[in-house]
Structure 1
Amino acid sequence: MSEEELWNLTLPEFNALVERKREQDERADLRAGIVAAVIANVFRAKGTKAYEPYDFMPTLRRHETKRQTWQQQLAVAMVITEMAKIKAQKEGGK
């Protein structure tokens, strides 16, 4: 995607792009977690609990949802506002 195409995305299109990237990253992390769990389980002591892929994925835990604080939400809104200002300046300069 070119820079111009990126700047011409609507907010829903941009959000969909970000979500797709997040899902791709999660799948890649899961694959790495599977490999790590298999290796760890081969060498674990008898009678100990088996490792799961999520044990090796500290940023992605099952059944955990981490809500954003209002400060984090404000920071995201400020970034979006700055992006809109930059886009407006670029369009004004054409």
Structure 2
Amino acid sequence: MLVEHQRLAYGIGGLTPAEFWDSTPAEFVPYIRERIKWKEEQDKMENFRAGTIAAVIANVNRDKKKRPTPYKASDFFPSLNSGSSQAAQPPQDRLGTAQRIYNVMAAAWRSTKKGGKK
């Protein structure tokens, strides 16, 4: 059991051995729980970013007759589309940032010679 706690502390916790041995169980357990939640959120946001980039690239050569609606990030990462689960959705402030990045990328593509053609 101690080996597992050390693995968590040094891995996901990012603690040094001295910090691990100086912490009490009352400090360590909530810290690791929060770090795990933070890591899951970071993974979801990374999936959202990758999905957004994939959607931009896929929309470049999308045949509008075969697929009238543009691709979205959730088309490439279905975990982003898990319905009512609040934890699976990116936080709104970060979602807004990702949407602004998508809009800038899409506008940059439309401003090119090839992107401006229909």
TM-score range, shorter chain: 0.5 to 0.7
Q: CA RMSD in A?
A: 2.2
Separation in structure 1 between the aligned mates of residue 51 and residue 34 of structure 2, nearest angstrom:
25
Q: Tell me how far 1:52 sits from its aligned partner.
A: 0.3
Report which of the two has the higher share of helix.
Answer: 2
1:54–1:62 contact (8 Å) kept in structure 2: no
CA deviation after TM superposition for structure 1 residue 4, in Å: 5.7
State the identity as a percent: 37
TM-score, length-normalised on structure 1?
A: 0.56
Q: What secondary structure, in the 3-state scheme, does the structure 1 residue paired with 2:80 have?
A: coil
Distance 2:41 2:76 in 1: 17
Number of residue pairs aligned between Structure 1 and Structure 2:
65
Q: CA deviation at 1:40?
A: 0.8
Aligned to 2:78: 58
Could you tell me which runs of 5 or more consecutive residues in structure 2 were left unpaired when the two chains were aligned.
1-14, 86-118
Q: 1:18 to 1:33 in 2, by over 3 A?
A: same
Q: Cα distance, 1:62 vs. partner?
A: 4.5
